[in-house]
Amino acid sequence: MKARIISMLTIKGLFLNWKQIILMYVIFPLSICFVTGHYSKMLYTADENKIDITIMDKDNAAQDFRKFFNREDNKKLFNVTKKGDYIITLKRGNSKSPIEVQVQEKRHVSEHNEKLIKSVIESYGEELENKENFNYEIIRDKVIKNKNEMSIYEEEAASIVTYIIIIIIMNCSKAYDLEKQNGMFKRMISMPLTKIDLFNYYVLIYFIYGIGTGIIYVLAFMIAKLAFLNVNFINLIVILLAQSLMIASASGFFSVFFKKNLSTVILTTLLLIETLLGGGFIPKVKSDAVLTSLVKFEPLKFVSDAYKDIIMYNSLSYIERNLIIMFFVSLVLYIISLAKIKISWEE
């Protein structure tokens, strides 16, 4: 009964503060998405639009094949590398088809790329003196058959969410500190409740606040037709539930362990790191080797990766690992907080 009352009061609080909610979780992220998305398009260089291919010719079936792709006209379209999205394998065939060309698609980018590769291979065959025919085949890994292309705005939506998560945790921590200042916390702790019960009620409030603001964030992008349009809403709810559990346990953790000033310093530092490495404010340009190497240190990368994977694949099977990480982080922070409460909390 108490849990239901607390839930209703939290939801009521969201409605009462609708102006701040709309500003922070709708207008702010959409504005960032529009601006950063626009400039991201301008920042993409010709190299980043090239098709990454890997050429394998173990039988020396066509020694000048690699040179053909390195011609000036083809170099504008293709980037020959050891880690390409398409692996072109040449091998000796039979008398009818002396050279067989097999293209294995490691990462599906677009149907246009497949047609372009096929067109260039056929052009190569036409230039051969003996007009050799090619047995052309594309092999697509099972896991990428249903992959969708992700727009810049969808990538922005998946990136900005990590920044918003830290903002939500900061707001929860500030609300807790405000209750301590106005005496609300002392009145609550004097009630016939154990400290663990009181902590759980706070965690419940944070969870409901997290799920509410998360749904508002997702709906804002859907209504603006920028992201999440082709994603099953149930899949999004699953991510939001895992995300909100993490928000609730992290907010509880900061409330139990850190004073107001230290909590603000830590969360502001995390916010700065997400701003620099998250990709929501500073586009991740592939040609920037330094930025690319630093991205792996992004604290909440597993959250943004979950959103990106659900946008591209629209299947929970592709985000299982990231969901497990969210649940694990939530559980660890919650258990540590309970252990601290049993020792001492606000005494």
Distant-in-sequence, close-in-space partners of 128: CB < 8 Å, separation ≥ 6: none
End-to-end CA distance of the chain: 28
Amino acid at 39: Y
**pLDDT the model gives residue 245:** 95
- Rounded distance between C-alpha atoms, residue 297 and residue 103, angstroms: 34
Q: Kindly provide the b/e burial profile for residues 195-221, where b requires at least 16 CB atoms within 10 angstroms of the residue's own CB.
A: beebbbbbbbbbbbbbbbbbbbbbebb
Candidates 155, 196, 205; CA nearest to 175 is 205
Distance CA 132, CA 154 (A): 44
Give this prediction's pTM.
0.69
C-alpha closest to that of 155 among 62, 221, 79: 221
- Report d(CA 306, CA 210) in Å as an integer: 17
- In angstroms, the CA 321 to CA 303 distance is 10
Residue 225 tokens read as 């037709």
Place of tokens 């301008």: 42
Q: What is the pLDDT along the chain (347 residues), one digit of tens a residue?
A: 456 666 665 666 666 677 888 888 888 888 888 777 766 665 554 445 677 777 776 656 555 667 777 777 776 677 777 777 777 777 666 655 556 677 776 655 555 566 677 777 777 666 665 544 445 454 444 433 445 567 788 888 888 999 999 999 988 888 877 776 666 655 665 566 777 888 888 888 899 899 999 999 999 999 998 889 888 999 999 999 999 999 999 999 998 888 778 888 988 898 888 877 776 666 655 545 566 666 677 788 899 989 988 988 888 888 999 999 999 999 999 999 998 888 876 55
Query: Is-contact 301 295, C-beta < 8 A?
Result: yes
Q: Is there a contact between 128 and 65 (Cβ–Cβ < 8 Å)?
A: no
**Cα(160)–Cα(298) distance, integer angstroms:** 13
Please give the Cα distance from 109 to 259 (Å, whole number).
Answer: 48
In three-state secondary structure terms, 55 is: strand
Q: Is 64 helix (H, G, I), strand (E, B) or coil?
A: coil
